Amino acid sequence: MEEFLLVARSTEMRLISLDTQDYTDMVLPLKGLRHVLAVDWEDTDGWIYWTDDEKRVIERARLNGSEQKPVITTQIIHPDGLAIDPIASNLYWTDAGTDRIEVSKLDGSFRRVIVSKHLQEPRAIAVDPLAGFLFWSDWGKQAKIERSRLDGSERITLISEGVSWPNGIALDPASQLMYWCDGKLDKIEVSSYTGTQRHVLTSSNLPHTFGFTILNNDLYWTDWQRRVIEKADKDTGRNRVTIKDPFSDANGLKAVRRWRWKGVTNGCTGSGGCGELCFWMGDSVKCGCRSGTFFLETLHIFINFCFSPVTPN
């Protein structure tokens, strides 16, 4: 299959073909899943990543279920969101238990807290590896959608009014548009990367959207109340199609086109000369270390020597 959906369904992971008109689906042979919330796909080596908030881990495996193993197992309580930077090989996640956003390499090494202040219930997270932006939602008392650079710097609030339960975020890098679904206000909205040009895409029969993803010209989402998976045109909200009905216990989902990132590069390709973490800032590279350390920068040369604590944003 070249295009498919990965759907986290609490105690199982489903793969739904988008290459076939009948949306053939199958259960992936993964073991010990208890409550899977978020899922993402790493394209270069073909790994599935997911969060399990009952086991309090982030795990990964191959599509055939082989090489299943935990990646993050400590200091993690309620991992709601997951996103991968496929160029820098970085793994990002939100934790509504620790109220933090963290990053590591894809194998869990060089783990670093990048946002820890003024977060209440962080949930969805999305990466644009080419523009160098990180987006996330927070459904706390002051619900909002925020954006930062990939290292957590230059943090700004994009959406803070008319939002309640922003459960899912999806990005269109080509148009630099951000889409989100609201599980309480029952609508799907879109804006620019700066939060401007905001408008409602659709608000018809969306009682509780949760998982949210984008591929080609379509948005895909799960609905907890209607127990369905649906899609619609990302530009108009029309041409709405029910992919699976009924489909209960569906949480996060990820639409995949295999080899989408093949040959796509930026300054962080091949680690960008950084010893630990590489962050693409949109026009330059910034190196970073695991939490508790940072890089000394002298005369614009990164010295790969970590020596003192960092303070997360």
| Angle of CA points 6, 11, 14, to nearest 5° | 25
pLDDT of residue 295: 46
First CA to last CA distance, the chain: 41
Q: How far apart are CA 272 and CA 138, in angstroms?
A: 31
Q: Which helix (H) or strand (E) holds 126?
A: strand 122-128
**Cα of 305 vs its chain's centroid, Å:** 30
pLDDT of residue 291: 87
pLDDT of residue 134: 98
27 is written with which tokens?
Answer: 């259960």
Burial (CB count within 10 angstroms: exposed 0-12, middle 13-18, buried 19+), residue 137: buried
pLDDT of residue 313: 56
**What's the mean pLDDT in 75-83?**
97
Instruction: Give residue limits of the domains in the chain.
Output: 3-257, 269-306
Q: What is the pLDDT of residues 86-132, one digit of tens each?
A: 999 999 999 999 999 999 999 999 999 999 999 999 999 999 999 99
Whether 296 has a pLDDT exceeding 70, the answer reads no
Give me the chain's average pLDDT, please: 93
Q: How far is CA 272 from CA 74, 104, 106, 219, 299, in A?
A: 28, 15, 16, 33, 17
Closest by Cα among 151, 162, 93 to 122: 93
Query: Hey, is 146 helix, strand or coil?
Result: strand
Q: How far apart are CA 265 and CA 311, in angstroms?
A: 30
Whether 293 has a pLDDT exceeding 80, the answer reads no
Q: What is the pLDDT of residues 182-219, one digit of tens each?
A: 999 999 999 999 999 999 999 999 999 999 999 999 99
**What's the mean pLDDT in 46-63?**
97
Q: Using pLDDT thresholds of 50, 70 and 90, give the confidence band for residue 30.
A: very high
154 is written with which tokens?
Answer: 């230059």
pLDDT of residue 1: 83
Bridge partners, residue 255, by sequence: 5
Other Cβ atoms closer than 10 A to 297: 11
Whether 308 has a pLDDT exceeding 70, the answer reads no
pTM summary value: 0.93
Helix intervals (H) in the chain: none
Whether 160 has a pLDDT exceeding 80, the answer reads yes
The HSE-up count of residue 240 (CA atoms within 13 Å, CB side) is 14
The amino acid sitting at 57 is: V
**What's the mean pLDDT in 17-38?**
95
Whether 312 has a pLDDT exceeding 60, the answer reads no
CATH code given to domain 3-257? 2.120.10.30
Q: What are phi and psi of 27, to 5 degrees?
A: -90, 125
Q: How far is CA 286 from CA 217, 273, 280, 292, 301, in A?
A: 33, 10, 6, 17, 10
Whether 3 has a pLDDT exceeding 60, the answer reads yes
More confident residue, 300 or 168: 168
